[in-house]
Structure 1
Amino acid sequence: MINRAITTALVGIGAAQFLKVPLHYVETGIWDWKKLYGSGDMPSSHSSAVTSLTTYVALKKGIPSIDFGISSIFSIIVMYDAMGIRWQAGEIAIAVNDINEQMEKLAHEHPGFYHRKREKELKEMLGHLPIEVAGGAILGVAIGALSYLTDKKSKKHS
């Protein structure tokens, strides 16, 4: 038997990742299929996953349940992290990549100045803007509710 709550969260991730491709196209006119597995951008798949799980748990077990309480706190932490720590890490990566580029230019312009170029730039798109987290949350609520409504056992509180 498949765990409906886990499946719901995984659908939340998949739907958000899939939606990043056409939303990016609408914004830029470019089909970027790397968005299917990349982090960052609209909507947040982290937010969609935890919100779909929390919504499903709320409808299945009830808001007073311990399960809903645990899921809610987990969701708040994940969404806060996506907007806060992960966003700031992305901003730091942008700065480090810029410094590396400037050091590379300096090394070419000044003989005797040694700089070893990084083999790979740091990944800059790590976190989310609040609107991207909100977009993922809205998608997650819809997916969680749809999962509950299509669950054949949704009438039972087990």
Structure 2
Amino acid sequence: MHDFETIFHNPILLASLLACFSAQGLKTIIELFRNGKVDLRYLVTTGGMPSSHSALVGSLATGVGLTVGWNSPEFAIASLFAVIVMYDAAGVRQAAGAQAKILNQLLDEFFQDGHHLNQERLKELLGHTPFQVFVGLAWGVGISVLALPAF
């Protein structure tokens, strides 16, 4: 049990989680200003500004670089992991969201005559624009640089 408790004393993990959760909170605040209403679904949804996945992996890689060293194998692993996650967020998931939007439009047009499809609409906000990924990355790097000394 003692080993499990030490997880919560890992400064890199704490900074990365702080970056992720604060980016999710920031999404909610941005949407409040954009739409003029609070939508708590942004606390748990994917997509949107900024990318919380990018914030998480950016903070992770930065934390590893700051604590273990920029030329360490651990930093190389964390950095490559971050690149894969960010590529997926801006590439694959963004494309899947665009496809979902088109499929939803097709279904809306096809079933205009009153027929219904017994299926939920596809989720359209899945991925991120490259800018949203970059802002998430910058957020994560900033959180690690500022928060790691505090942990």
Q: How does the TM-score come out when normalised to structure 2?
A: 0.90
1:32 and 2:49 matched: no
| Deviations 1:2-21, CA, capped at 9 Å, x for gaps | 22222222111101001111
CA distance in 1, matches of 2:11, 2:24: 20
1:53 and 2:60 matched: yes
| Deviations 1:72-117, CA, capped at 9 Å, x for gaps | 0000110011000000000000011111111111x44xxxxxx651
CA distance in 1, matches of 2:42, 2:72: 36
Residues 47 and 128 of structure 2 are in contact (CA less than 8 Å); yes or no, is this contact kept in structure 1?
yes
CA distance in 2, matches of 1:12, 1:59: 16
Residues 93 and 123 of structure 1 are in contact (CA less than 8 Å); yes or no, is this contact kept in structure 2?
yes
Residues 53 and 85 of structure 2 are in contact (CA less than 8 Å); yes or no, is this contact kept in structure 1?
yes
Share of identical aligned residues, percent? 38
Aligned equivalent of 1:22, options 2, 24, 29 = 29
Moved more, 8-17 or 79-88: 8-17
Letter aligned with residue 122 of structure 1: L
Quote the residue 1:137 is aligned against. Answer: 137
Residues 12 and 148 of structure 2 are in contact (CA less than 8 Å); yes or no, is this contact kept in structure 1?
no
Quote the residue 2:72 is aligned against. Answer: 65
Residues 56 and 147 of structure 1 are in contact (CA less than 8 Å); yes or no, is this contact kept in structure 2?
no
| Deviations 1:14-70, CA, capped at 9 Å, x for gaps | 010011111111222222111011111111000000001111111001110001000
Quote the residue 1:128 is aligned against. Answer: 128
Secondary structure in structure 2 of the residue aligned to 1:127: coil
How far did residue 147 of structure 1 move?
A: 2.9
Runs of 4+ deviating beyond 3 Å: none
Supply the RMSD in Å over aligned alpha carbons. Answer: 1.3
CA distance in 2, matches of 1:147, 1:30: 30
Letter aligned with residue 47 of structure 2: G
How far did residue 144 of structure 1 move?
A: 1.1
Letter aligned with residue 90 of structure 2: M
1:103-122 matches, cutoff 5 A: 103-105=110-112, 107-108=113-114, 116-122=116-122
Q: Report the structure, 1 or 2, having the larger helix content.
A: 2
Unaligned runs of 5+ in 1: 109-114, 152-158
Q: How does the TM-score come out when normalised to structure 1?
A: 0.86
* Structure with max Cα Rg: 1
